[in-house]
Amino acid sequence: MSFTPELIAELEVLALFNLDSSQEGIKVHNTASKELIAAAQRLYDKQLTDQPDGGYLTSLGHDAAEHAQQLLTILNVAQPA
């Protein structure tokens, strides 16, 4: 299994969510890139969000976003010199 451009776009959308508040969602506007709009729809189709244009995370979506954001943190740590 590898990271496809579609999966990377979905990870980018998941990274937009503020995990500190379950009352804060996102909206992917129709002016966003086609890739992000499609990614938001796929996350909805996978039942990770409650709206096809973002909305709020479901319980499973919260878990996925948490893991995605943790992975970004791990990978963005500066490399030792």
Please name the residues in contact with 18: beta carbons below 8 A apart, sequence gap of 6 or more.
24
The pTM of the full predicted model, rounded to 2 decimals, is 0.90
pLDDT tens readout for residues 20-73: 988 899 999 999 999 999 999 999 999 999 999 999 999 999 999 999 999 999
| H runs (alpha helix) in 1-81 | 5-14, 34-45, 59-75
- Return the number of other C-beta atoms located less than 10 Å from residue 14's C-beta: 25
Give the Å distances, CA to CA, from 47 to 21, 40, 44: 19, 11, 5
Residue 1 banded pLDDT, cuts 50, 70, 90: confident
pLDDT tens readout for residues 7-24: 999 999 999 999 998 889
